[in-house]
Amino acid sequence: MSLPNDFLWGFATAAYQIEGAVEQDGRGATIWDTFCKQPGKIADGSSGVTACDSYNRTAEDISLLKSLGATAYRFSLSWARIIPLGGRDDPINQAGLDHYVTFVDNLLRAGITPFVTLLHWDVPDELDRRYGGLLNTSEFGLDFAHYARVCFQAMPKVKHWCTFNEPWCSTVLGYNVGQFAPGRSSDRSRSAEGDGKTEPWITAHTLLVAHGRAVRIYREDFKSVQGGEIGIVLNGDAVFPWDPLDPADVMACERKLEFTIAWFADPIYKGDYPTSMRKQLGCRLPIFSEEEKALVYGSNDFYGMNHYTSNYIKHKPGTPDPEDVAGHLDILFYNKKGYCIGEETQSPWLRPCALGFRDLMVWISKRYEYPKIYVTENGTSIKRENDLPREKILEDDLRVRYYEEYVRAMATAVSLDGVDVQGYFAWSLMDNFEWAEGYETRFGVCYVDYENGQKRVPKRSARCLRPLFDGLIREV
């Protein structure tokens, strides 16, 4: 079992979750700033106002990465720091742009390869007010393309670009469930506006077309000179049939992967949405115009894979609910025999099951002809970790075990299944703002002491990755 000798590994974070400094140096507001201000939206009533204060601690974060042996770091840019109002005719904020240019330079000086995500959910708030943000396919696409161009131009040393992070979350959680910004939903107890039957499909279409636009710009105007690569980051949980002997559950598994992963990946690798989605959603699923198809089809240089957990899938009888986004099935942690997929964590949706990781990498590889994969996120929270005394938090053995099992599952997929994985990022470098869960859920390999000046202290898991990768990466 081994990994290629140029394999990159490190940790991942996202701007809104770690930076804080939301009003510093001319940053504009994002939909998450606005969402967090609404009472009841965030579990502990918190927000990213201070978070880990990473905007003011870049040197410390780089030293931390270095001390843990990371060879790469995945982080996201805050669009609203660079173009505070977000639009293609709006002014650029030089201070915000310079901040990231310097950060990239300093990472490279420390021998750490930057993987830069252009948008990790924090859409500039003004674009939401101006034209409905992701609901406006043409305007959003043009504004995003402009923003992407500004970034490509300013940061030629970046060789790995990700357009969007987990569009499934932006669309389903933001426009159907209403749990994430901008919080729209058909459920009027959650949101005064929104239509969960149509908006997730429209906003996903917007993100795909905007991704295609940014990729075209990179390929036409920057790639040949800068020599980098660009792709999208998709989340996806692995699936096992609730009853492996029931063909309907086996089919439901496939449908679940199509409704979450292939929803985005099929248009990119195959040119259209999956048939199962068209069948269930009919004309609610947008149709790609010829121009859009030309933008989206073939637009990934690599597949960014975010992965955390597995589920048992049980088919549902009857006709699908019009609000359904999953493919008309139940998503469970127990199978027909009563076996549980993995132990509980602090995240209600996450239970460790490393076997699923290998399985899913194989599914992606077969469906999309063995693309180059970067595992752009993988990690776990721990049940009640936040309630433990600090010395106990630092002994995060469950997380150590999680990383060992998942990284080995990945190496197995590379060695035995022919899967082409070339990089891995643990989520996350440090505890941070876990969106609607606030700060109660910790995902970091480093503890962040929010009461004492955001001090970072490595947990046991922070130091388990270097020996793990040293043992797996082939010597030349």
Least separation in angstroms between residue 21's CB and ligand NOJ is: 18
With respect to ligand NOJ, which residue has the nearer C-beta, 54 or 136? 54
How many residues sit close enough to ligand NOJ to count as binding (CB under 6 A)?
A: 9
Distance CA 314, CA 452 (A): 47
- Spatial neighbors of 410 by CB under 8 A, at least 6 apart, are 3, 357, 358, 361, 375, 421, 424
With respect to ligand NOJ, which residue has the nearer C-beta, 186 or 203? 203
With respect to ligand NOJ, which residue has the nearer C-beta, 79 or 242? 79
Q: Does 427 participate in binding ligand NOJ (rule CB under 6 A)?
A: yes
Query: Among this protein's residues, is 166 annotated catalytic?
Result: yes
Secondary structure (3-state) at 441: coil
* Extended strands (E) in 36-96: 72-76
Task: Encode 186-217: b = buried (16+ Cβ within 10 Å), e = exposed.
Answer: beeebbeebbbbbbbbbbbbbbbbbbbbbbbb
Distance CA 388, CA 445 (A): 15
Least separation in angstroms between residue 169's CB and ligand NOJ is: 7
Distance CA 139, CA 215 (A): 17
Q: Does 176 participate in binding ligand NOJ (rule CB under 6 A)?
A: no
Task: Encode 74-94: b = buried (16+ Cβ within 10 Å), e = exposed.
Answer: bbbbbbbbbbbbbbeebeebe
Extract the tokens encoding 302.
């690599």
Q: From residue 429 to residue 458, what is the string marking binding to ligand NOJ with x (rule CB under 6 A)?
A: -----x--------x---------------
With respect to ligand NOJ, which residue has the nearer C-beta, 179 or 422? 179
Least separation in angstroms between residue 165's CB and ligand NOJ is: 5
HEC letters along 167-208: HHHHHHHHHHHCCCCCCCCCCCCCCCCCCCCCHHHHHHHHHH
Query: Among this protein's residues, is 377 annotated catalytic?
Result: yes
Least separation in angstroms between residue 240's CB and ligand NOJ is: 21
Q: Does 306 participate in binding ligand NOJ (rule CB under 6 A)?
A: yes
* Extended strands (E) in 68-147: 72-76, 113-119
With respect to ligand NOJ, which residue has the nearer C-beta, 136 or 306? 306
Least separation in angstroms between residue 170's CB and ligand NOJ is: 10
Q: Does 180 participate in binding ligand NOJ (rule CB under 6 A)?
A: no
Least separation in angstroms between residue 192's CB and ligand NOJ is: 26
Instruction: Identify the residue among 143, 199, 377, 431 touching ligand NOJ (CB under 6 A).
Output: 377
Catalytic residue among 229, 377, 385, 437: 377
Q: Does 42 participate in binding ligand NOJ (rule CB under 6 A)?
A: no
With respect to ligand NOJ, which residue has the nearer C-beta, 126 or 166? 166
Least separation in angstroms between residue 64's CB and ligand NOJ is: 18
**418, 370 Cβ separation under 8 angstroms:** yes
Q: If you write DSSP's letter for every residue of 276-329 in order, what string do you get?
A: HHHHHHGGGS----HHHHHHHTT--SEEEEE---EEEEEE--SPPPTT--SSSE
With respect to ligand NOJ, which residue has the nearer C-beta, 168 or 242? 168
Q: Does 171 participate in binding ligand NOJ (rule CB under 6 A)?
A: no
Q: Are strands 446-449 and 455-458 parallel, antiparallel or unpaired?
A: antiparallel
With respect to ligand NOJ, which residue has the nearer C-beta, 166 or 258? 166
- Helices 397-417 and 354-367: crossing angle in degrees, nearest 10, is 30
Secondary structure (3-state) at 43: coil
Task: Encode 337-362: b = buried (16+ Cβ within 10 Å), e = exposed.
Answer: eeeebbeebbbeebbbbbbbbbbbbb
Tell me the backbone φ, ψ of residue 21, rounded to 5 degrees.
50, 45
Range 6-25, binding ligand NOJ (CB under 6 A): 14, 17
Catalytic residue among 19, 126, 166, 292: 166
Q: Does 166 participate in binding ligand NOJ (rule CB under 6 A)?
A: yes
Question: Closest by alpha carbon to 198, among 137, 241, 289?
Answer: 137
Least separation in angstroms between residue 416's CB and ligand NOJ is: 27
Residues involved in catalysis: 166, 377
Residues that bind ligand NOJ (CB under 6 A): 14, 17, 165-166, 306, 377, 427, 434, 443
